[in-house]
Amino acid sequence: MAEKMLAAVLYDFNRLELAEVARPRAEQVGEVVVRIKACGFCATDYKAIAGIRRNVSFPFIPGHEPSGIVAEVGPGVTAFKAGDAVIVQPSGFCGFCPACRVGNTHYCEHAFTTGGDGPTDVWPGAFAEYMRTRTSCLFHKPKGISFDAAAITEPLSGAWKGVIQYSQMQVADDVVVIGVGSIGLLCMMVAKAAGAGRLIAIDVSDYALRNALDLGATHVINPAKEDAKQRVYQIMPNGPDLVVEAAGPIAAVKLMVDLRRRGTRWNVFGITTHETFEIDGGLTHFLEGRMDASFGTTPLAMSMAIRLMERGLVDTETIISHRFPLARIHEAMAVIASPDRNKVIVQP
């Protein structure tokens, strides 16, 4: 194996460069090196590169939605061997702290991330030919799933965790998803697979709404063109059972709160910026408003996402709009910044 590899290295905000860097090695117990085949380009990567999120230390290799082939295993690794096709969970965990012991590995006191956001311990990510991680972050990739589709496991797992595990969507529930970029579409596809009754997608982009209709929305609403609440209550006279905000802007959170009727469950899923919204305490009490929020992923959610794909319940391939080799990462970045795109895949 070569000693050097190609990587997209962020040296400063807005300074992403293709560089030859040292290939990582699996030297510690439990470590593995994966030859990356595909990696999803997430909004979090874009925000780091463009300087929209500032908690980045340089140099940094972004990319946290990888699939690939095990290239090298470190001491003590028995569950995986060189040549195994794998999917990588980007959030590492210790397995022994109180949070890990009850299954909340995304709260781990010793968490690390490969190329992602959240933990303070940040390892180089997957916009590179090779990436080092721990074997506890690996999942075997089923044969029937392409590397590109497998690279969308982590966002799909987040959608499953939010919609099913936390908000407990039930068969025939009337569901509204606000914001149908790639993560909102995945929420919608999970809801459809779980037997949603009426399924409304709300977005200000007509491109996104066309995708939503293709992928199973029963109705779409563009709030820039019509009164979203009025339309939702025309389509769902009894109001939604579940509303998922997968958009990001605070206006989307406010719309979600505004769409409630008695007993509606709502999930603060997309917003990551520190903006506030008001809720009426008494009204929330009498409505029995049930709020959830969801971030990150867990081995349980990753496993369920892999099952959803393997059993043909969610086809993540359908949300891929662009593919770029690593050498064309800057073109990928430009596409991410444009409105007419869905999931972008980088192939190192």
Of the pair 93, 127, the CB lying nearest Zn ion is at 93
Smallest distance, Zn ion to C-beta of residue 50, A: 15
- Verify binding: residue 122, Zn ion, rule CB under 5 A: no
Three-class DSSP category at 269: coil
- Verify binding: residue 97, Zn ion, rule CB under 5 A: yes
- Verify binding: residue 44, Zn ion, rule CB under 5 A: yes
Query: Which region among 1-9, 89-97, 308-316, 330-338 touches Zn ion (by CB under 5 A)?
Result: 89-97
- Verify binding: residue 189, Zn ion, rule CB under 5 A: no
Residue 329 contacts residue 16 (beta carbons within 8 Å)? yes
- Verify binding: residue 100, Zn ion, rule CB under 5 A: yes
Strand partners, 134: 31
Query: Rounded to an integer, what distance in angstroms lies between the CA atom of residue 87 and that of residue 312?
Result: 17
Residue 66 contacts residue 34 (beta carbons within 8 Å)? yes
Query: Which region among 97-105, 121-129, 266-274, 305-313 touches Zn ion (by CB under 5 A)?
Result: 97-105
List b or e across 269-302, with b for residues whose CB sees 16 or more CB atoms inside 10 angstroms.
bbbeeeeeeeeeeeeeeebebeebebebbbbebb
Of the pair 44, 211, the CB lying nearest Zn ion is at 44
- Verify binding: residue 264, Zn ion, rule CB under 5 A: no
- Verify binding: residue 287, Zn ion, rule CB under 5 A: no
Computed from CA positions of residues 135, 24, 60, 10, in that sequence, does the dihedral angle turn out positive or negative? Answer: negative
Tokens of 90: 């980007």
- Backbone angles phi and psi of 266, in degrees to 5: -135, 145
- Verify binding: residue 204, Zn ion, rule CB under 5 A: no
Tokens of 307: 């099952």
- Chain position carrying tokens 């990510």: 125
Query: Rounded to an integer, what distance in angstroms lies between the CA atom of residue 344 and that of residue 321?
Result: 6
Smallest distance, Zn ion to C-beta of residue 137, A: 13
Query: Which region among 96-104, 201-209, 300-308, 323-331 touches Zn ion (by CB under 5 A)?
Result: 96-104
Smallest distance, Zn ion to C-beta of residue 246, A: 12
Of the pair 240, 348, the CB lying nearest Zn ion is at 348
Strand partners, 37: none
Of the pair 289, 296, the CB lying nearest Zn ion is at 296
Query: Rounded to an integer, what distance in angstroms lies between the CA atom of residue 3 and that of residue 184?
Result: 40
Smallest distance, Zn ion to C-beta of residue 239, A: 31
Of the pair 89, 264, the CB lying nearest Zn ion is at 89
With CB under 5 A, what is the number of residues at the site for Zn ion? 7
- Verify binding: residue 108, Zn ion, rule CB under 5 A: yes
Query: Which region among 71-79, 88-96, 126-134, 292-300 touches Zn ion (by CB under 5 A)?
Result: 88-96
Of the pair 50, 97, the CB lying nearest Zn ion is at 97
Smallest distance, Zn ion to C-beta of residue 136, A: 10
CA distances from 75 to 29, 94, 137, 186, 304 (A): 5, 17, 16, 37, 29
Q: How many CA atoms lie within 13 A of 84 on its CB side?
A: 20
Among 8, 42, 71, 221, binds Zn ion (CB under 5 A): 42
Query: Rounded to an integer, what distance in angstroms lies between the CA atom of residue 211 and that of residue 179?
Result: 12
- Verify binding: residue 94, Zn ion, rule CB under 5 A: yes
Smallest distance, Zn ion to C-beta of residue 97, A: 3
Report the 10 Å Cβ neighbour count for 63: 28
Of the pair 127, 241, the CB lying nearest Zn ion is at 127
Q: Which residues bind Zn ion (CB under 5 A)?
A: 42, 44, 93-94, 97, 100, 108
